[in-house]
Amino acid sequence: MDPAPRHRLRTDTDDGLLLIISGPSGAGKTTITRAVERSIPGSVFSVSATTRPKTDADVEGVDYHFVDDAAFEAMKRRGEFLECVDLFGKKYGTPRLWVEEQLARGRLVILEIDVVGAIKVKEQMSEAFAVFILPPNEQVLLERLRARKRECEEAIQKRFAEAQREILTARTSQTGGRPIYDKFIVNDKLELAIPDAVAAVLGERERRRLSRG
């Protein structure tokens, strides 16, 4: 039996767009992601499930859905994730049903995920628009990681090496014969990178509106 048709609300539009924003630690992707969310009406930020411990700064349901390993694996077995990844020993997953519902409502759904996750999403939803945030150069990235003063030098170097691999993967990976990322934005100055990201997303939505006639 076919599923019942989704009830359409008066506020629904056909402008649903899945936006992927990625970038290495220290590139400023979270700041830019939140700025895009605030700048474009109808934007919603996808909240991932994670097994990483909740910190005092975290808000359940806003930053992440915090679950234990058993619960995460059960969700994975049930196919509840659009993508999931094990990163630095902690698991992260994007809730599939919620994303699909928001897209059907015509919203801009924002995923802040790593390159591996972006590849998995693009393989399933090739229409997603993907943006990768780059640092001006590797030295600036290393300085930013140190300036956060969150980790010891050994951990910083490990994260820096992972960032280098992530940038290379982002530049070279393809799916269906097309690059994973549709746009690369260099975050040298936030006051320039943020409007660049917003303009890219608005431009893509407009392009798709026109293509639909």
Answer whether residue 132 is part of any domain.
yes
Q: Which helix (H) or strand (E) holds 147?
A: helix 138-147
Q: Which helix (H) or strand (E) holds 141?
A: helix 138-147
Q: What is the CATH number of the domain that holds 168?
A: 3.40.50.300
| Residues 157, 178: Cα–Cα separation, whole Å | 32
* Residue 82 tokens, joined: 């659009």
DSSP-assigned states of every residue in 174-187: EETTEES-SEEEE-
32-71: pLDDT as tens digits: 999 999 999 999 999 889 999 999 888 998 888 999 999 9
Q: What is the pLDDT of residue 10?
A: 59
Answer whether residue 12 is part of any domain.
no
Answer whether residue 162 is part of any domain.
yes
Q: What is the pLDDT of residue 6?
A: 54
| Residues 164, 141: Cα–Cα separation, whole Å | 10
Q: Give the residues across from 183 on adjacent strands.
A: 131
Residue 27's identity, in one-letter code, is A
In the block, residue with structure tokens 């945030």? 133
Q: Report the chain's mean pLDDT, rounded to a whole number.
A: 91
Q: Give the residues across from 86 on adjacent strands.
A: 91
89-108: pLDDT as tens digits: 899 999 999 999 999 999 99
pLDDT above 60: residue 4? no
Q: Under a CB-based contact definition with an 8 Å cutoff, are residues 28 and 124 in contact?
A: no
Question: How many structural domains is the chain composed of?
Answer: 1
Answer whether residue 32 is part of any domain.
yes
Answer whether residue 6 is part of any domain.
no
β-sheet with 129-134: strand ranges across: 43-45, 108-112, 17-22, 129-134, 183-186
Answer whether residue 55 is part of any domain.
yes
SS3 sequence of 52-117: CCCCCCCCECCCEEECCHHHHHHHHHCCCEEEEEEECCEEEEEEHHHHHHHHHCCCEEEEECCHHH
CA distances for 179 relative to 49, 87, 130, 174, angstroms: 27, 23, 10, 4
Answer whether residue 185 is part of any domain.
yes
Q: What is the pLDDT of residue 70?
A: 96
Q: Pairing state of beta strands 178-179 and 174-175?
A: antiparallel
- Domain span at residue 155 reads 17-212
Answer whether residue 107 is part of any domain.
yes
Mean pLDDT of the 156-164 span: 92
Q: What is the pLDDT of residue 2?
A: 44
Q: What is the pLDDT of residue 100?
A: 92
pLDDT above 90 coverage of the chain, percent? 76
Q: What is the pLDDT of residue 212?
A: 82
pLDDT above 60: residue 1? no
